[in-house]
Amino acid sequence: MSDHSYYKVIAVFLLTIVVAAACATGPAPEPKIPSSQGQTNQPSVSEINRALATLAGSTATSGDYRIGPEDLLQITLYNVTGDTTLTPSSDARLTPRTTVVRVSQQGILSLPLLGDMKVSGMTAAEVENALRKAYEKYIYNPQIGVFVTEYRQRVSVIGAVVKTGVFELTGPKTVIDILAMAGGVTEQAGTQVHIYRQGANGRESHVIDLQVLASNASLITAGNAGVITLPVQAGDVINVPLAGMFFVDGAVKAPGSYPLGRRYSLSQALAKAGGVDRDLYSSDVTILRRGTSGGAEPINIDLNKVVAGSSSDPQIEADDVIVVPIHTGKYVYFKIFGQIIGWTSSVRGMAGS
């Protein structure tokens, strides 16, 4: 079934529910569910962004940075003289020799005696070890230091963030740092961040759970972070996918569509929509869910039983349509009869003046 047919079925079903609600009799008891937005047990977007801002810059170390094309390196040989054939018996004074060299576009480092060496993707410590082994052919027990003096790497950020685009690395950065640089996630963000990179064995993919990030900030700063504080590398693509949507209609205070950025139960979804309109709602709620055949399958829920704890609070899925029927008795009393009372009071007031 096409999307057009799917939503056509939903429209017909909504009309059927409204007509059925018109035949209802007797007021339903009012469930004590949240009546304001955002009252869920899941971290909000603002809480996630606060966690990003708090953790930014607190988890990356210089040892995490992977060298890439156009980086500028300062390489120091500490135990050499003007003659590079120093032996243990020499009494010559040791004078450090420093060389500043830029990594080529191909990730190659060119040095005297050694020629070309592939360093792209290596940390400074790994380059030191590689140079130490290479220089052992010419220098006794070479002592070498490598320091990145200029960072030229870039990563891309796409998806549901405030500022998408290409960001330059001005030093060691983690995914958290880059998301903070992008201004944080938006209300349309889902619960995950995907990191794509080209590794030694081909394309790699990593996933970060934003809810874990917001809920365990203290653990992250203590170093128990796992992939959440993954250091970024040149060419990484960080994607924050859009959340799915759910829809709320009927006797709620703010009907409309909402991003399924968190894991919402039915009562939490209704709270996101401002809560039920206590003057109008019926507790016979229907969730319209896309079935395996593509059609809309109704799931009937008694909201009063959910609130009372005698029935489970179902989880909402992407593309769900939640319908809270309008109770006829309440509608007649509060809308029609209430308007008549208001109109009568106005007429009496005018007559009395």
DSSP string, 15-26: HHHHHHHHT--S
Confidence at residue 341, expressed as pLDDT on a 0 to 100 scale = 42
**Averaged pLDDT of the chain:** 76
| % pLDDT > 70, the chain | 69
Question: Comparing 7-16, 249-258, 305-314, which segment has the lowest mean pLDDT?
Answer: 7-16
Which among 288, 209, 333 has a CA at the least distance from the CA of 13? 288
pLDDT tens digits, 99-119: 899 999 888 999 888 889 999
Q: How confident is the model at residue 92 (pLDDT cuts 50, 70, 90)?
A: low
Confidence at residue 211, expressed as pLDDT on a 0 to 100 scale = 76
Which among 162, 189, 161 has a CA at the least distance from the CA of 245? 189
The answer regarding whether domain 72-150 maps to CATH 3.30.1950.10 reads: yes
Q: How confident is the model at residue 224 (pLDDT cuts 50, 70, 90)?
A: very low
Q: How confident is the model at residue 262 (pLDDT cuts 50, 70, 90)?
A: low
Mean pLDDT of 286-312: 86
Which among 312, 233, 226 has a CA at the least distance from the CA of 71? 233
224 or 300, higher pLDDT: 300
Question: Comparing 84-93, 164-173, 211-220, 264-273, which segment has the lowest mean pLDDT?
Answer: 84-93
230 or 41, higher pLDDT: 230
pLDDT tens digits, 9-36: 555 555 455 444 444 444 445 555 544 3
- Going from N- to C-terminal start, the domains of the chain cover 3-27+245-341, 45-62+153-240, 72-150
For residues 225 and 198, give the distance between their C-alpha atoms in angstroms, rounded to a whole number.
23
Mean pLDDT of 192-197: 88
Mean pLDDT of 227-254: 85
Confidence at residue 129, expressed as pLDDT on a 0 to 100 scale = 94
- Rounded to 10 degrees, the C-alpha dihedral 122/126/127/133 comes to -140
Protein fold of 45-62+153-240: Outer membrane lipoprotein wza fold like (3.10.560)
pTM given for the model = 0.61
For residues 233 and 200, give the distance between their C-alpha atoms in angstroms, rounded to a whole number.
13
Question: Comparing 75-84, 106-115, 194-203, 285-294, which segment has the lowest mean pLDDT?
Answer: 75-84
The architecture of the domain spanning 3-27+245-341 is Roll (3.10)
The answer for residues whose C-beta is within 8 angstroms of residue 315's C-beta and 6 or more apart is 263, 264, 265, 266
Burial of 3 (0-12, 13-18, 19+ CB in 10 A): exposed
CATH topology of 45-62+153-240 equal to that of 72-150? no
pLDDT tens digits, 315-340: 998 888 998 888 655 545 445 444 44
Mean pLDDT of 181-206: 85
Q: How confident is the model at residue 278 (pLDDT cuts 50, 70, 90)?
A: confident
The answer for residues whose C-beta is within 8 angstroms of residue 153's C-beta and 6 or more apart is 66, 68, 69, 71, 168, 169, 233, 234, 235
pLDDT tens digits, 4-16: 555 555 555 554 5
Mean pLDDT of 260-274: 85
Q: Decide if 232 contacts 238 (C-beta within 8 A).
A: yes
